[in-house]
Amino acid sequence: MQFFSKYAPYFYLILFGALGGLGFSPTYLVPLTLASYGGFYWVLNKYIMPGGTLKAAFSGWLYATLYFISNLWWTGNALLVEDNPFIWALPLAVIGFPALLAGFISVICIIYNILLKKSPVKHSYMKYSLGNALVFAALLTSTEWMRGHMFTGFPWNLPGYVWSWNLEILQILSVFGPYVLSFLTVLISPLFVNLVYNAKLKNNVLAACVIILVFLICGLWGSFRLGNNPTVYTSDVVRVIQPNIKQADKWDPAQYNTHLSLFSDMITESFKPDFRSARSVLFVTPETALNETMLSSPEAPYKLQSIFETLQQLPFPAYLYTGYMRSEYNSAEPNKPLYFNSSMLLNDKGENLAFFDKFHLVPFGEYMPYEDIVPIGPVVKFNGFQHGEGLRTLRAEGIPSFSPLICYEILFPGEVFLAEDRPSVLVNITNDAWYGLSPGPFQHALMANYRAIETGLPVIRSANTGMSVVTDAYGRTLSKTALNERINLDIFIPLSTYDPTIYSIWRDIPFYIMLLSALFVGLLLLFKSKNQNI
């Protein structure tokens, strides 16, 4: 019993951290994620703060490691592909990566501990005050911004993603973006912990009422926005191709001709009569659908000829946008190929109109950070991909302009199109076969809805094994495939919003203002006279 009493805080941190991932897609147990944030706040205030710096740092790290494991455990599936020689790296993916991400929260726990030490408020009941809640929420949300921007960035499952089931609340993204929504989400938890532990403080009751009111207003405004902006379609059609090729088969050269035949059959499949009056059609295939070895086979020219002859027979302009792994050779090292996770836009004659190379590469998967120091690691079996030049808008006569995004690139709010060359659509191609039947593909697909609302642009998403999605500019899902389904999605492309959204203009400036304001007010309250009833 004495042992448990001594180490109870750490058991609580493990428990609350493990609950953290359950509020996100596809489980949507939102109260458990909110309980995770609230439990973390409660343990810090009751058992840890103020105390030793190492104790504070370790407590934050322990909670955050379990929190990120519960959110990201499925990334280890990438190493479970049949005959993968790098299976030994599974613990690094499942535990090591979350442990690294936990460092952000460990640092803010040190800061929170220092602030509580310096605060003149020493009464235990004052640990559950509005000042504490604001400072805690601001610091914790700041780590989410850092996680999304520092060391290449990894903004997966920001706290605001727990609302992905509620399209009305999500409309706030068009004004304030995902980090403001994340701050408000985190703030709910400490405010209600305060209410449970110290309802005598008048500001605790008021603050809990205000946060409820804020979300009610967001929901009502979102409902109004959706009700007054029905989906409007262009006369251009997109065919989103989901071939459902297993990861174990995808890179098997013996099956490349089979893959190419499958793409040919899916591209040339007849359109239903509803689409024959279209102005143009864009065919979209997934990330790395094609590669140089596949196209060098003797059968490839005949299959490609069949595809483009079919496109030329259509009564409207037709284009193919496809994922393509390509290589170049550097004159300085002629024997060392440079690989690009790329895509290309082809017309109905098979002419390449444009390349787009993925520029936001997945660290440790598509390239090794600091590879001059650390040899290239698991997952990729070559020297890594080269970085592309950055965002661009692709244009071709007769089809809506679009900003191409390959896989991971759709994760980054505010970084999905060129502000000076606003496209009509976002087009995201991805593989997702790596992650099998896990939360990964569900959560990745939802990024389309978030980016659509933030930018006011429809999103077209083609995934190898699912889920492929077409959304309108308000985040409505208009068409969607199931996971592990082989299917074409044919749909008229929705219109974008007439004007850019406020968020796409101001980006995260509202978040910076809200974060600094919360810190200022929180610190002001935290350092007020200890006799003040706040």
E strands in 91-226: none
CA distance 191 to 37: 11
Of the candidates 407, 409, 415, 454, the residue annotated as catalytic is: 407
Give the end-to-end CA distance of the chain in Å, rounded to a whole number: 37
CA dihedral 63, 66, 71, 77 (to 10 degrees): 160
Peptide bond into 273 cis (omega under 30): no
Q: What type of residue sits at position 133? A: A
Of the candidates 109, 127, 358, 409, the residue annotated as catalytic is: 358
Let me know: does 282 contact 399? Beta carbons within 8 Å.
yes
The number of beta carbons lying within 10 Å of the beta carbon of residue 223 is: 14
CA distance 433 to 288: 12
CA distance 338 to 201: 63
Residues with Cβ within 8 Å of 370's Cβ and at least 6 positions away in sequence, in order, are: none
Picking from 67, 56, 73, the residue whose alpha carbon sits closest to that of residue 16 is: 67
Say whether 480 is catalytic: no
Say whether 407 is catalytic: yes
CA distance 22 to 182: 16
Q: What type of residue sits at position 168? A: E
Of the candidates 287, 366, 415, 454, the residue annotated as catalytic is: 287
Let me know: does 29 contact 23? Beta carbons within 8 Å.
yes
Peptide bond into 26 cis (omega under 30): yes
- In whole angstroms, how large is the CA radius of gyration of the chain? 25
Token duo for residue 340: 């690009």
CA distance 534 to 516: 20
Say whether 218 is catalytic: no
CA distance 349 to 76: 42
Token duo for residue 330: 């550097």
Strand (E) or helix (H) holding 488: strand 487-494
Q: What type of residue sits at position 481? A: T
The number of beta carbons lying within 10 Å of the beta carbon of residue 101 is: 22
Length, in residues, of the chain: 534
- Residues designated as active site: 287, 358, 407
